[in-house]
Chain A
Amino acid sequence: MFEAGFFYLFATMAVVGGMGVVLARHTMHSVMFLIFCFFNSAGLFFLLDAEFLGIILILIYVGAVMVLFMFVIMMLEVNQAKLREGFLQYLPMGGMIALILLIEFIGAASSGIFHTNAIAAVGHFGKDVNNTVEIGKVLYTQYLLGFEIAAIILLVALVGAIVLTLRTRQDAKYQNISKQVNVRKEDRLRKVRM
């Protein structure tokens, strides 16, 4: 009873947060709603005993990704009036996508694949089952290759992003900090006998 109550609480709040992202007038408020939505999704993970996934969701999405989002939004000057200009122009296209998605969701939900009988009932394991350990074991044995490939792709993306932004201006003066830090007294001070 308790669990179902929490499920409906988190699920409703996640949906409310998702609606808020789209409907909020202010971009900053949209971001706050998205953060709220992530929190509630993390709550859903906790209900499934997947505390590792829930905390990772908060750590990575709320703690890092959304901070960068906010960073970008803070720096932008968003012109509200200009944003609303194209509303009618894009309405048919957007409406069509929404309609197709709605039909797809209804179709998927009523197909019977997602029926409660079809999904193995998830019971709670005992306290000795640690899902962090289990995820680690599966990730580093069964799915090792896929995991490593994903890691390499991310690394390449990382290096690529750095290379794209790396430029040294020739006309600007740069300080070499290790040189500055390693300066000794003898380099700067000269004793003069008078």
Chain B
Amino acid sequence: MEWTDMALTGLIWALEILAIAIPIALSVAYITYAERRVIGLMQVRKGCNRVGPLGLLQPLADGLKLFLKETIIPAKSNKILFVAAPVMALVPALVAFAVVPFGETTLFGLWDTAHVMAIAHLNVGILYILAISSLAIYGVLMAGWSSNSKYALIASVRATCQMISYEISMGFALVCVLMLAGSMDLSVIVNAQKGGFWHWYIIPLFPMFLVYFISGCAETNRTPFDLVEGEAELVAGHIVEYSGMWFATFSLAEYGAMILISLLTSILFMGGWDAPIPALDFIPGTVWLLLKTSFFIFVFIWFRATFPRFRYDQMMRLGWKVFLPWTLAWIAVLGLFTYAGELNSSLTILSDMIGYYQPWRS
């Protein structure tokens, strides 16, 4: 009995993981398609439209092409780490999805209470995602170092500087969200924003929303922060020596991280699976969440078509001299607002104002 129970639990876990991993892999494939079409549209050209209707089979053709290509391992590279690096880049990008809640469900009335649709319902969800996404750097670092090529090495050093710098302001932006929601549990954060768009944290935390999303851009090495892959000076950055499937693994990781950042931006600042106005509640929450996420992915692509690349020193300045002071100041402001009413009764209006967004205080 015990063993059948354990086998059943294992099976359910495996299904849960597949139910998230397969859609991610598919959406990565089609985001590359969307990216080419959208950028094509913005640059007044066609984009890929040859393979299949409207070019819809292009991602499959690309995948097949990459799969059939030969994997070349440079002779003087560190072979173990060279092969391990793409895996080390991909694993954190996928593992981070374990705590992302995709909505709340009663499974068509089968359960009495609503369950959170996440593989693991952690009460330190945000910290987990921060920790896991900070691991993504090892893939880049290892790829750059083990290739034994100066371009790859310089690119990976750049990537490290970039990720470490922007992780800090990203973390502080998240602290602001925690101060409002009073929990690190992602589903609690979404429920704290329930009841229409005027409850969403984008309103009291608008600068933090900008900081988070732009830092997310920098973390995933997307344009305008793709100095790592700056093809004019570094050929293709840390992936210059990779070919075939190992190369594809890196772009899988990059687009996976992009989906994750978009998902988290919608969960933390845009109310997650909450409808913008309560009258629209009849549309399932997961649909709302995915719509918001798709919008942010579109914004990522839009950025790529719009902005020129940052210079390295400009990027460092933005991270350390603009975002970091902003986030620190906003934390102080939020803290002062929260407890202003206790200092002086004439300031109660301030703490009431912020208290509207803080369900843990009432």
A-side interface residues toward B, CB under 8 Å?
A: 26, 28, 32, 35, 51-52, 55-56, 58-59, 62-64, 67, 70-71, 74, 130, 132, 175, 177
Do A63 and B123 have beta carbons less than 8 Å apart? no
Q: Residue B131 contacts which of A63, A71, A177 (CB distance < 8 angstroms)?
A: A63
Q: Does B127 contact A (CB under 8 A)?
A: yes
Do B138 and A175 have beta carbons less than 8 Å apart? no
Do B153 and A74 have beta carbons less than 8 Å apart? yes
Can you list 19 A-B contacts with CB-CB less than 8 angstroms, sorted by A residue number?
Answer: A26-B78, A28-B145, A32-B81, A35-B138, A51-B123, A55-B131, A56-B127, A56-B131, A58-B131, A58-B135, A59-B127, A59-B130, A62-B131, A63-B134, A67-B141, A70-B145, A71-B157, A74-B141, A132-B124
Q: Does B66 contact A (CB under 8 A)?
A: no
B-side interface residues toward A, CB under 8 Å?
A: 78, 81, 122-124, 127-128, 130-132, 134-135, 137-138, 141, 145, 153, 156-157, 160, 164, 167, 184, 313-314, 317
Query: What is the CA–CA distance of A193 and B53 in the complex, to the nearest angstrom?
Result: 56
A177 to chain B, nearest CB (A): 5
Chain B residues with Cβ below 8 Å from A28 are 78, 81, 145
B185 to chain A, nearest CB (A): 9
Residue of B nearest to A75 (CB): B157
Residue of A nearest to B134 (CB): A63
Residue of B nearest to A62 (CB): B135
**Can you list the 9 inter-chain pairs with the closest CB atoms, starting with the nearest?**
A63-B134, A59-B131, A58-B131, A55-B127, A55-B131, A74-B145, A177-B317, A51-B124, A130-B123
Query: What is the CA–CA distance of A52 and B184 in the complex, to the nearest angstrom?
Result: 10
Do B127 and A52 have beta carbons less than 8 Å apart? yes
Chain A residues with Cβ below 8 Å from B184 are 132
Residue of B nearest to A26 (CB): B78
A177-B123 CB under 8 A given contacts A62-B134, A62-B135, A63-B134: no
Do A175 and B122 have beta carbons less than 8 Å apart? no
Residue of A nearest to B122 (CB): A51
Query: What is the CA–CA distance of A79 and B6 in the complex, to the nearest angstrom?
Result: 52
Chain A residues with Cβ below 8 Å from B81 are 28, 32
Do B313 and A63 have beta carbons less than 8 Å apart? no
Do A67 and B164 have beta carbons less than 8 Å apart? yes
A59-B134 CB under 8 A given contacts A64-B164, A67-B164: yes
With A56-B127, A67-B141 given, can you name 20 additional A-B contacts, CB distance below 8 Å?
A26-B78, A28-B78, A28-B145, A32-B81, A51-B123, A55-B124, A55-B127, A58-B135, A59-B130, A62-B134, A63-B134, A63-B135, A63-B137, A67-B138, A70-B138, A74-B145, A74-B156, A132-B184, A175-B313, A177-B314
A143 to chain B, nearest CB (A): 20
Chain A residues with Cβ below 8 Å from B157 are 71, 74
Chain A residues with Cβ below 8 Å from B156 are 74
Chain B residues with Cβ below 8 Å from A130 are 123
B139 to chain A, nearest CB (A): 12
